[in-house]
Amino acid sequence: MLILTWLRGLLARRTARLAAAAAGIALAVALPAAMGAFLTSAKATMTARSVQRVPVDWQVEQQPGQTVSVPMPGTSRQVSFARIDGFEARQGEQTLTTGAGQVLGLPANYAAAFPGEMRLLTGNANGPLLAQQTAANLHAQPGANVTVRRPGLPDAPVTITGVVELPAADSLFQRVGAPPGAQPQAPPDNVLLLPEADWHRLFDGIPRDRVRTQFHVRIDHRLPPDPAAAYTAVAGQARNLEERMAGSGLVGDNLGAALDAARADALYSQVLFLFLGAPAVVLAALLAGLVTRAGAQRRAAEQALLRTRGASQAALVRLALAETALVSVAGVLTGLGLAALAGRALFGSASVSWWAAVLGLLVAGGTVLLPALRAGTVAAARRPVGGSRRLPLWLRYGLDVWLLAGSAVIFWITSQNGYQLVLVPEGLPQLSVDYWAFAGPALLWAGAGLLIWRLTRTMPITWAVRPLAGGLAGTVSAMLTRQRAPLARAATLAALAVAFAVSTSVFDTTYRQQAQVDAELTNGADVTVSQTTATPQQLAAVPGVARVEPLQHRFAYVGSDLQDLYGIRPATTRLQDAYVLGGTAREILDRLSRQPDALLVSQETVNDFQLRLGDQVRLRGEDGTTVPFHYAGIITEFPTAPRDSFLVANASYLARHLPAATTYLITTDGAPPHQVAAAVRNRLGPTAKVTDVETTRQVVGSSLTAVDLSGLTAIELGYALALAALATGLLLALGFAERRRTYALATVLGAAPRQLGSFVWAEVGLVGVAAAVLGALCGWALSRMLVAVLSGVFDPPPDALAVPWAYLGVLAILGAAALLAAGVATVRAARRPPLTVLRDL
């Protein structure tokens, strides 16, 4: 009966305090529950995307002199390969020839079984098919006659029925069982696809060392949703098949390789959760704790009154447990409900992580139950009003300074060592995270919070409130000085909430920006056109094209190392400063303009060949031509270039010595790149290779960046706004409510409404300025460190942080509105008749 009476009294008289505590617990539950739903959804999507991107799950290659007699799992088709000496075609009076190539024999239903392996560009697929590059080399269209130069046999003519693109050529022509360093640097340019019967008719008699046989396999895709578990399952099946083949065949596990990359991305998603989610949960728990602390004196007085009326310690414990249960259940259910709504809206699923409910109960126990139990002790009832004036121990010994120094040292050490956040131990199927890298941001966050507390607690209040209080500055300062501790707590939490919002929004915006930059680097531009004889003027006339930049591309040897060689126009080429070393991008490009034979090389080439600035570098073309260059700078990234070694030179100098094919980089006028690419493709025909950045991002982006990060961003940023508003407005409102007695007494002593307003608005101003200035500085520092620590996510690293000004504007408006609402409500409450207020208290 006592418990029910106590709860009814709390609901009737302390509704705001209970609701505020439940709101803090709800925030502590909602974010991890929603982000847990994101992780579950993201991992399942990563696995599904990895499976979809792989056209052939396994390539089982029959070993020379062996016969594979083990039945293949799932769907399988036999594919035959033949290495030939070249192709030849006649166009009018001109005879066009190519170098060595590959001829594949495909069963009739191969395209239906593996639809992602080839895409028909023109003609029909019921006959001999030329790869797009080969068709361009031979100027061949459907109906053309092509001669195949067979090793050891007479040349054989075939009539082409279609031209196809081979999107997965790298994996299709891989050397199964060979280590990564022994794989071909590029797939063959010259490829002919024949029906199985035609292939056997033409190539059964060629030398056996020119022939190999593979079984292309699609296994059962009912895999675990987690990429790591799916990888383990697929890799185990592949090893089981190799064991049963007993050396007669090797498995090229394309699906396992894709899932291997996805499991690294899944671990990155967990890293993001830890980095971006954990501080928010801590802030929500602190908010709930400060809400409970705001009524600590009144709670102690109420429970002391119960003790004088005969309540035992056990009864007080039961009351504390009942209050905690009420607040925790309300907060947990509200948090889970918000997470379910967010999951339904953003991920299409209302499933949430129920372990977040356990977290909510722990937060309730620490922020509601423990203070309630302490308030029931005799020591709490005798506690002097205003608390101890002695500085906290951590403040006297400078813990904040030590934490910040430790953060700087750890960050410097990890940055200098060039660590990788996600580690892949050699020969092991597990991934691990270098959690030592977390220490820097964690110490920075804790140290910054304590430093903000120090600054707000020790600031010269009289000077700070004079603009708002005017002649009452001394009186207002005396009151606020007595309230330094609660004022510092409110300002610190508000500043940390602002810092969380700033750092999270800047990181998310930078992440999206760099994901787009990565795709543009791979594709080259919004739209990239190669294998064409079109002119820049023809491309510029296509609707949606704003700018066309030609780029020469060929291959050249540095010593025995074959590398991509690009020729550019330095005056019109645009590069970011992060793409070069030893100067700005403009300074490096100016060297190419001033020195025609200047050459930019990758860092790997500089290290491998021990180059120094100004050294002569003699490049050998594929035709044997040797061209002298001079090493003029290091370039780390370049549009369309590979990630390891490549060369960049002046296009005019290169064209005089090494003829190269021209690629065109197209910038759109705002039109969607895929629409402009379709228009260019229609204008140039099927032989031109046209790619757009939107498609490229889906292909080359990690499965994490391709998944619904927009949903994660919406959760984080919405949560940050709610947390900032509650931290700024709610804590002030509760603090003002606890000081109603002070305002009532001031009114009795003759204080005018304007003077009471000075007390309120001075406190609002102090909290608002501290939250805005200190929170922004802390958020900027955290953003810089987060981006630096998560450098493995950014490839290449950003030139500068991307600042979401619109979001920060909304944050400022919402925070200011919360402060104004708390101030206005308090001023109105202070105008109530003082005797009524004192009687209620």
- Kindly report, residue by residue over 159-206, the tens digit of the pLDDT: 999 988 888 888 899 888 777 666 776 788 899 999 999 999 999 989
Instruction: Say if residue 208 is in the same domain as residue 249.
Output: no
Classify 665 as helix, strand or coil: strand
pLDDT band at 331; cut points 50, 70, 90 = confident
Q: Taking the chain, what is the end-to-end CA distance rounded to the nearest angstrom?
A: 25
DSSP 182: G
Instruction: Say if residue 233 is in the same domain as residue 379.
Output: yes
What proportion of the chain, given as a percentage, has pLDDT over 90?
15
- φ/ψ of 632, rounded to 5, equals -120, -5
The boundaries of the domain holding residue 26 are 1-73+220-383
The CA–CA distances, whole Å, from 71 to 60, 68, 81, 113, 250 equal 11, 8, 21, 17, 14
Instruction: Say if residue 693 is in the same domain as residue 709.
Output: no
**What is the pLDDT at residue 431?**
46
Q: Considering only 209-218, 236-245, 288-297, 363-372, which range has the smallest mean pLDDT?
A: 288-297
Q: Let me know if residue 436 belongs to a domain.
A: yes
Q: Is 713's pLDDT higher than 90?
A: no
Q: Let me know if residue 206 belongs to a domain.
A: yes
Distance CA 498, CA 779 (A): 7
Q: Let me know if residue 389 belongs to a domain.
A: no
Instruction: Say if residue 134 is in the same domain as residue 273.
Output: no
Beta strands per DSSP E along 508-642? 527-530, 545-558, 561-568, 580-581, 598-601, 616-621, 626-635
Instruction: Say if residue 205 is in the same domain as residue 106.
Output: yes
Q: Is 76's pLDDT higher than 90?
A: yes
CB count within 10 Å of CB 625 equals 12
Distance CA 740, CA 752 (A): 15
Please give the full DSSP string across 493-513, using - where no structure is assigned. HHHHHHHHHHHHHHHHHHHHH
Burial (CB count <10 Å: 0-12, 13-18, 19+), residue 154: exposed
Question: C-alpha 746: how far from its chain's center?
Answer: 55
Average pLDDT of the chain to the nearest whole number: 79
Distance CA 331, CA 333 (A): 6
Domain count, the chain: 4
Distance CA 479, CA 830 (A): 16
Instruction: Say if residue 273 is in the same domain as residue 200.
Output: no
Mean pLDDT computed over 527-544: 84
Burial (CB count <10 Å: 0-12, 13-18, 19+), residue 101: buried
In terms of average pLDDT, the best of 234-238, 428-432, 747-751, 787-791 is 234-238
What proportion of the chain, given as a percentage, has pLDDT over 70?
78
Q: Let me know if residue 193 belongs to a domain.
A: yes
Mean pLDDT computed over 745-765: 68
Indicate the residue among 383, 415, 434 that finishes a domain.
Answer: 383
pTM above 0.75, yes or no: no
**What is the pLDDT at residue 729?**
73
3-state SS, 35-97, equals HHHHHHHHHHHHHHHHHHHCCCCEEEEECCCCCCCCCCCCEEEEEEEEEECEEEEEECCEEEE
**pLDDT tens string 596-626:** 888 999 888 888 888 888 889 888 886 778 8
Helical ranges in 295-312 per DSSP H:
296-308
Distance CA 20, CA 145 (A): 81
Query: Angle at the Cα of 69 (from 65 to 71), degrees rounded to 5?
Result: 140
324: CB partners within 8 A, 6+ apart? 364, 365, 368, 369, 372
**What is the pLDDT at residue 429?**
43
Q: Let me know if residue 307 belongs to a domain.
A: yes
pLDDT band at 475; cut points 50, 70, 90 = low
- The continuous run of DSSP H or E covering 277 comes out as helix 254-294
* Greater pLDDT, 7 or 674: 674
Do residues 780 and 728 make contact, with C-beta atoms less than 8 angstroms apart?
Answer: no
Indicate the residue among 701, 716, 747 that finishes a domain.
Answer: 701
Q: Let me know if residue 388 belongs to a domain.
A: no
DSSP 727: I
**pLDDT tens string 400-450:** 889 999 988 888 876 665 555 554 444 344 445 566 667 788 888 889 888
Instruction: Say if residue 510 is in the same domain as residue 553.
Output: no
**What is the pLDDT at residue 525?**
83
Indicate the residue among 361, 383, 405 that finishes a domain.
Answer: 383
**What is the pLDDT at residue 229?**
92
Distance CA 78, CA 750 (A): 98
Instruction: Say if residue 432 is in the same domain as residue 581.
Output: no
Mean pLDDT computed over 306-319: 73
Instruction: Say if residue 560 is in the same domain as residue 440.
Output: no
Q: Let me know if residue 172 belongs to a domain.
A: yes
Q: Which long-range contacts (CB under 8 A, 24 or more apart) does 302-310 make?
A: 303/375, 303/376, 303/380, 303/381, 304/380, 304/381, 307/376, 307/378, 307/381
Instruction: Say if residue 46 is in the same domain as residue 85.
Output: no
- The continuous run of DSSP H or E covering 145 comes out as strand 145-149
Instruction: Say if residue 579 is in the same domain as residue 644.
Output: yes
**What is the pLDDT at residue 27?**
78
Amino acid, single-letter form, for residue 10: L
* Greater pLDDT, 54 or 277: 54
**What is the pLDDT at residue 700?**
55
Instruction: Say if residue 173 is in the same domain as residue 86.
Output: yes
Q: Is 57's pLDDT higher than 80?
A: yes
The CA–CA distances, whole Å, from 475 to 28, 460, 469, 762, 766 equal 39, 14, 9, 11, 16
